[in-house]
Structure 1
């Protein structure tokens, strides 16, 4: 049930109350949504990634994903803030590295741990979200710039925590074509055939003999290594946060079989996927009992 609705320029605010046991589906939407959990508990699921949510959690729904779902286990109230990437790119406050910021926000779904990090470390983010909520619940809203400023601040917190979980992009400012390449890689990481040199060359109109050099000159990363490292980061997340078998993970990420995934994982991490899973669970156990 929608409780209230308010729009100003490029922003659209909605508060909703959802009974426990129900589902909200964000089906390949073309805009961003910041979700602030006012109260309630449940799960947020993107593809195979699932994380529990609770009161005061903040996360972002990104454009283009096939499957993003909120499943409520108790009565839940949310504040949803919708906006397009134009909202980010047209504002002076975002002039510095704004293309980088768009890319980082598009990458949010690859590792949902940023939600936990914000909840545990950034109390100010919750306070700002509550200020937003108070403002839009007022009968007469006259200071639209103040609302925009609050949304900017939440985006900066989201960017900071999401960026910590991404492969580093050091050095040069990234031009728009490279941003598109990074987004394409992230969205197609489960389909290796779309990430061959020839496919990337055809997609972005760059010679196959030059595309690797082009990518490295703008990101300081080898193209093949970036794709592999990004894939391994996601595999580590699967091993820590899902019950999928190693063979299922190998199949999901396009490895020919479990043994090849074992070989690659061992080469880059020093341990097997199974041992990595055991170690991560032991660390969680130790952190829980300490």
Structure 2
């Protein structure tokens, strides 16, 4: 598979992949990755995030990362050597506090809205155009000005993300608790538990809500709903006189065969045999 190498202080390229091939990164560069199209998952320092078109990820010098591509993805990949960043910092009033850190303090997408995403994509497009024009990227005042602007924007976004990280974590946890409460209230109504219905209810895209739920609950929403249904079915089998058909209907299964299939997968027995193992 194709590999990508960084030899220069500044490198920018675009590429499309169906399966992730990690570009070679020297130990002394910062990297900005823009997702132009496609979907999948980005893992950085053990933290996994779903990605979608428009998302932007920042890698510091010692970050460990990977991508799992679920839909063919086009990336724009920009790398800046630490020497270049230090040089640009000394030629202007740029603290760039977050760029000084060797490990990203706030992993995940750094551009929360379409305006910031568009600004980063616009700057990257100009830099890419300069690359294709064969004009020198280093010691070029226009290029240096663009890179300073780009790095200043990245540092601002990292600062903002770091400032709200705790609040976001608390909010995300609250959202998941509300999703679970909603599932409990509507466990017998399958049409209310459709992924698109849940996403609309909580003002998330289906992909983002499912990724957030998995991050906090350990299961996808569909897996959680099925596990929860089957636990309630087991309770009914042990403690009620309802027929298996009535229980299947109560919890929104298509028929007894549908319930049998899922119940046996989790409990190793059919509902009838499971009930018989608990004598009245």
Please report the TM-score for the alignment, with normalisation by the length of structure 1. 0.50
How has the CA–CA distance of structure 1 residues 3 and 166 changed in structure 2, closer, same or farther, with 3 Å as cutoff? closer
Q: CA deviation at 1:15?
A: 3.3
Q: Residue deviations 1:25-63, cap 9 Å, x none?
A: 778944211112333322211134222223343221111
Q: Name the larger-Rg structure.
A: 2
* Rounded Cα–Cα distance in structure 1 between residues aligned with 2:10 and 2:50: 27
Matches within 5 A, 1:121-270: 121-138=116-133, 140-142=134-136, 144=138, 145=140, 146-167=142-163, 233=166, 237=169, 240=172
Structure 2 equivalent of residue 22 of structure 1: 20
Q: CA deviation at 1:4?
A: 8.5
8 A contact 1:35–1:58 mirrored in 2 = yes
Q: Any stretches of 5+ residues in structure 1 without a counterpart?
A: 169-229, 241-273
Matched residue SS, 2:61: coil
How has the CA–CA distance of structure 1 residues 7 and 150 changed in structure 2, closer, same or farther, with 3 Å as cutoff? farther
CA RMSD of aligned residues (A): 4.0
Q: CA deviation at 1:147?
A: 2.8
Matched residue SS, 1:40: strand
8 A contact 1:2–1:16 mirrored in 2 = no
* Rounded Cα–Cα distance in structure 2 between residues aligned with 1:97 and 1:12: 21
* Rounded Cα–Cα distance in structure 1 between residues aligned with 2:25 and 2:169: 24
Structure 2 equivalent of residue 212 of structure 1: none
Matched residue SS, 1:24: coil
Q: CA deviation at 1:126?
A: 1.7
Please report the TM-score for the alignment, with normalisation by the length of structure 2. 0.51
Match of 1:49 among 37, 47, 58: 47
Q: Residue deviations 1:160-198, cap 9 Å, x none?
A: 111012249xxxxxxxxxxxxxxxxxxxxxxxxxxxxxx
8 A contact 1:26–1:68 mirrored in 2 = no
Number of residues paired by the alignment?
186
Matches within 5 A, 1:62-81: 62-65=60-63, 67-81=64-78
